[in-house]
Amino acid sequence: MTDPVDAVLFDLDDTLCEYRRTSGELLRESFDAVGVEPFFDVRAYYDAYETVVNDDDEHDGMRELRELCFARLADEHGYSRDLAHEMAAHFADSRDHTNVDPLPGAAAAVDALAGEYALGVVTNGAPEMQRAKLSALEFADRFQTVVCAGYEAPAKPEPDPYHAALGELDVAADRAVHVGNSLQTDVPGAHAAGVRSAWLSDGSEPDPEPHYTVERLDELATPPWRA
């Protein structure tokens, strides 16, 4: 028999919400602003972020972290750091962190689960950025705790942010489920923390294998862990 669940944790980006203007769009605009042909894409930016966010070097918020990412990529491709910093400034000035939409079924899932479970958010990203996104969602008040990993704890897929959230909720790891879209951070991070994983599928073959898979968040209104 499956152990009961007392808490459900959610990823934020591309799980509960998404930007109306994509990072790819803003990146292309930033290259245009400095007058150079694109020398890295959004995937390379995200990969640099995953590397930089857990570096020992201190960084003061998302703006500086993005500068470090762009500078690292400029170094790799033979461009100046001044150009990278100019690009990062344009990107930051164009990004509105409250300009987000909930993913289909997000409100229905959160509202249904809030009546029975303690809810939390475990998200990689700077607190001022992630909390601004969450504040724009009509169901933000449903969450009893928010952990911004990479700042308030090591970034996912490390287990620490899950343990921090569950400590706030006073729930044991084996009585929790984490819902997320990433096979690189959410699913392996949950498993490392001893938490069950519910993967929001993108249609790919999952590796690692999550405990549960959903196509839309509102499927969680009838939780799969009860089956």
Tens digits of residue pLDDT in 121-176: 999 988 999 999 999 999 999 999 999 998 899 999 999 999 999 999 999 999 99
Residues 52 and 116 in one domain: no
The candidate with the shortest Cα–Cα distance to 127, out of 43, 44, 65, is 65
Beta bridge partners of 153: 149
pLDDT of residue 41: 96
Residues 198 and 211 in one domain: yes
Mean pLDDT across 181-196: 97
Q: How far apart are CA 223 and CA 216, in angstroms?
A: 12
Beta bridge partners of 13: 17
pLDDT of residue 95: 92
pLDDT, tens digit, 9 for 90 and up, residues 22-42: 999 999 999 999 999 999 999
Q: What is the domain range of residue 187?
A: 7-19+99-226
Residues 175 and 118 in one domain: yes
Higher pLDDT pick, 150 / 120: 120
pLDDT of residue 1: 41
Residue 46 belongs to some domain of the structure: yes
Residues 153 and 204 in one domain: yes
The candidate with the shortest Cα–Cα distance to 157, out of 180, 178, 127, 188, is 188
Report whether pLDDT(61) > 80: no
Residues 90 and 108 in one domain: no
Report whether pLDDT(182) > 90: yes
pLDDT of residue 49: 85
| Residue 93 main-chain phi, psi, to 5 deg | -70, -20
Provide the pLDDT confidence category of residue 59 given band limits of 50, 70 and 90: low
Q: How far apart are CA 11 and CA 137, in angstroms?
A: 14
How many domains is the chain built from? 2
pLDDT, tens digit, 9 for 90 and up, residues 202-221: 999 999 999 999 999 999 99
**Boundary-marking domain end, from 94, 121, 141:** 94
Residues 39 and 113 in one domain: no
Residue 186 belongs to some domain of the structure: yes
Residue 194 belongs to some domain of the structure: yes
Alpha-helix residue ranges (DSSP H) falling in 78-194: 81-94, 106-114, 127-135, 160-169, 186-192
Residues 128 and 84 in one domain: no
Report whether pLDDT(65) > 60: yes
Q: Which of 20-34, 59-73, 101-115 has the lowest mean pLDDT?
A: 59-73
Residues 118 and 180 in one domain: yes
